[in-house]
Structure 1
């Protein structure tokens, strides 16, 4: 059984960002909490919205940092320190430019890929060795267009793909918690394979 104790979803706070691609991590944790009948509630001491999911042996904290993306690490480190959660017990979900809409992948450690939220979390935790769930949002094809892209709203076709992927990724998190990373990765991979057929 995997020992993930903290699930973090990255995004930017505020209604003007709620529908933007950069908030894919927010969408995932909101949906995951909903699957267990939970709603994320403001928790000022952790600089974000939190929920707790308990089922059988699972005791999972869910966090949406409510500071801007490049300061996400503050909330993550504060909550992790408070509950004595180690970096390798943390899973962070976020938007990934290098994956197309409709694809999500697990990854452990490594670089930030230029993602400011991941960069800040690694800096605050003092290590990049936490688990990640990358949700594909696609790339605009030109570096100069990236900011407008991530802070823009996806067209309906892409949004449907992202929503389906997030639903499947939530199921994969369950598999990760009940089994292990390999089983979760296989589930996500087979979902992608099914859709391409």
Structure 2
């Protein structure tokens, strides 16, 4: 069985620590902790790493297509590795959730998040698991400027703790814990 864990974000140094890159931030930490080698693969339009054994492997993917075109990269990976929709987990930022709040769903709409919108369009389904990572909202700032801003120094400890929670979610997903149980454990109210 092969699983796919995707972190959404924008490629490049200038976006590395931005709110919009919450998905990349989660994957980067997991990859670092587990010594997973990531390689840029043009055929997947992204950076990809493999973890586990032939019988039970997990593919980690960071699309290099920019957030709003992430579905292209994910579709290529699931076609190549013959991954079922039920075995996909996507990490994405969410401005409608406070910083540090997590919302896990087994399926659902895009909620205005363009990366999710593109994934739904390419996969032709909303039935993939996702973790929405709260990045907060700033009504005094244009949306595009806000999501491309870095977390504040006061937010960083909360972000760090939330990333640790996300790493536990990935572990449990890989170990095939029922997703409803993972949701019960990690859906937060902050």
Would you call these one fold, judging by a TM-score over 0.5? yes
- Deviations along 1:23-69, one digit per CA (max 9) or x if unpaired, are 00001111122232113221111110011110696410000000111
1:167 matched to 2:168: no
Q: 1:44 to 1:56 in 2, by over 3 A?
A: closer
Structure 1 match to 2:16: 18
**Structure with a larger share of its residues in helix:** 1
Matching residue within 112, 128, 131 for 2:126: 128
Q: Which runs of 5 or more structure 2 residues have no equivalent in the other structure?
A: none
Counterparts of residues 57-136 of structure 1 (less than 5 Å): 58-136=56-134
Structure 1 match to 2:135: 137
Contact 1:173 1:184 in 2 (8 A): no
* Per-residue deviation, 1:117: 0.6
**What is the TM-score of this pair, normalised by structure 1?**
0.88
Secondary structure, counterpart of 1:49 in structure 2? strand
Counterparts of residues 25-44 of structure 1 (less than 5 Å): 25-44=23-42
- Distance in 2, matches of 1:105 and 1:34, equals 24
**What is the TM-score of this pair, normalised by structure 2?**
0.91
Secondary structure, counterpart of 2:142 in structure 1? helix
- Distance in 2, matches of 1:157 and 1:55, equals 40
Structure 1 match to 2:150: 153
- Aligned residue pairs total 189
Contact 2:15 2:21 in 1 (8 A): yes
* Per-residue deviation, 1:84: 1.0
Q: 1:56 to 1:32 in 2, by over 3 A?
A: farther
Higher alpha-carbon deviation: 131-140 or 152-161: 152-161
